Amino acid sequence: MFPRPIEKATPPARALYKIALPIALIIWLLPLLAVALTSLRSQADILNGNYWGWPTSFNMLENYTAIFENTPIGQYIFNSFRVTIPTVIGAVALSCMTGFALAVYKFKGNLLLFFLFVAGNFVPFQILMVPVRDFTVNLGIYNTISGLALFHIAFQTGFCTLFMRNFIKALPFELIEAARVEGVSEIRIFWYVVLPLMKPAIAALSVLIFTFIWNDYFWATVLTQGADTQPITAGLKSLNGQWLSSWHLISAGSILAAMPPVIMFFLMQRHFIAGLTLGAVK
């Protein structure tokens, strides 16, 4: 293990490490902690400039009720779910199939197609922006949830295919060969042999894509406008303009926007990290 395990260090060093850990964490998360605390502050505190001291009163209920009552934040959050969930399902489903095809079959242009998915996944969004917006307008789904979700599904398929293909490639190929010898059809091999083994990959991708899409801001501003369709990221930006210096409300909104991916991360931590660090170890 590197660095040398702290248990083997001298007692003072060990004690120092144990003190340093929480201090480092508090400094690291200070901006976030301050926001969490500010979301509980009263209007009076904000007016008096009490941003960093202890709140004079805790107004959690008032502040959070206020943003739900006075702003469409509930609708924004609902929209985020309506975009994110179909995207997760769609992109994961499509990439299970593309990944399977690229990992299992040898055909001409296999690697080329694979590289197409990989390269597409890295291009700057701006090169897609004008045509995708135009295309979405022409389909009549500009400023709709489906318009945004369809694009996300298509774009995320690139990254998901990279992930799935490499995952299936690492599975023991003998399983598929054995099934073929038994006369099992290719579709049944996909469904009954490979898919059950892909559960960890599906879990990892689901949490990752959930987080990516939930946090997407760029496409939300390009393909939607107004509270009926905009997800929370874009919504927060427009609320920020309206609220001006009502930092307690902005903070409460930020905390709400951050919640779902944070909860998702804590629930599925192992899968999340497995997905994110794919390829970090040989």
Partner 1 sequence: MRDYWRINQQRLAPVLFLMPGLLMFVVYVVIPIFQSVNISLYAWDGLGEKEYVGIANYVELMDDEAFYTSIKNNVIWLVLYMLAIPAGLFVALFLNQNVRGIRIYKSLFFFPFVISQVVVGLVFSWFYDPSYGLFNKVLGFFGADPMAILADEDWVTYGIIIAGLWPQTAYCMILYLTGLNAVDSEQIEAARLDNAKGLKLLWYIILPQLRPATFIAMVVTIIGALRSFDLVSIMTNGGPWGSSRVLAFYMYEQAFSEYGFRMGYGAAIAVVLLAIMMIYIVGFLYKMYRDERGY
Nearer to partner 1, 169 or 199 (CB): 169
Residue 55 touching partner 1 (CB under 8 A): no
Nearer to partner 1, 45 or 59 (CB): 45
Q: What are phi and psi of 54, to 5 degrees?
A: -70, 135
Nearer to partner 1, 130 or 197 (CB): 130
Q: What is the spatial distance between Cα 89 and Cα 209, in angstroms, rounded to a whole number? A: 9
Within 8-27, the residues that bind partner 1 by CB under 8 A are 17-18, 21, 24-25
Cβ 97 to partner 1 shortest distance, Å: 4
**Residues 64, 76, 151, 167: which binds partner 1 (CB under 8 A)?**
151
User: Residue 21 corresponds to which tokens in the numbers above?
Assistant: 């850990």
Residue 145 touching partner 1 (CB under 8 A): no
For 98, half-sphere exposure in the C-beta direction (CA atoms, 13 angstrom radius) is 22
The vertex-97 CA angle with 93 and 102, nearest 5°, equals: 140
Cβ 77 to partner 1 shortest distance, Å: 12
Q: What is the spatial distance between Cα 170 and Cα 163, in angstroms, rounded to a whole number? A: 11
**Residues 19, 44, 60, 116: which binds partner 1 (CB under 8 A)?**
116
Cβ 18 to partner 1 shortest distance, Å: 7
Site string for partner 1, 253-272 (x = CB under 8 A): -x--xx--xx--xx--x---
Q: What is the spatial distance between Cα 74 and Cα 224, in angstroms, rounded to a whole number? A: 17
Cβ 42 to partner 1 shortest distance, Å: 15
The DSSP 8-state label assigned to residue 41 in this structure reads: -
Stretch of 58-66, 67-75, 101-109, 196-204 contacting partner 1, by CB under 8 A: 101-109
Cβ 65 to partner 1 shortest distance, Å: 21
Site string for partner 1, 156-185 (x = CB under 8 A): -xx--x-----------------------x
**Residues 82, 186, 203, 227: which binds partner 1 (CB under 8 A)?**
186
Count of residues that bind partner 1 according to CB under 8 A: 93
For 93, half-sphere exposure in the C-beta direction (CA atoms, 13 angstrom radius) is 7
**Residues 76, 142, 163, 214: which binds partner 1 (CB under 8 A)?**
214
Residue 142 touching partner 1 (CB under 8 A): no
CA distances from 256 to 187, 249, 251, 253 (A): 43, 11, 9, 5
* Distance between first and last Cα of the chain: 17
The vertex-174 CA angle with 92 and 118, nearest 5°, equals: 35
Q: What is the spatial distance between Cα 226 and Cα 238, in angstroms, rounded to a whole number? A: 9
Stretch of 67-75, 81-89, 110-118, 198-206 contacting partner 1, by CB under 8 A: 110-118
**Helix 60-70 with 73-104: angle, nearest 10 deg:** 80
Residue 134 touching partner 1 (CB under 8 A): yes
Residue 67 touching partner 1 (CB under 8 A): no
**Among 146, 136, 132, which Cα is nearest to 82's?**
146
User: Residue 5 corresponds to which tokens in the numbers above?
Assistant: 């395990």
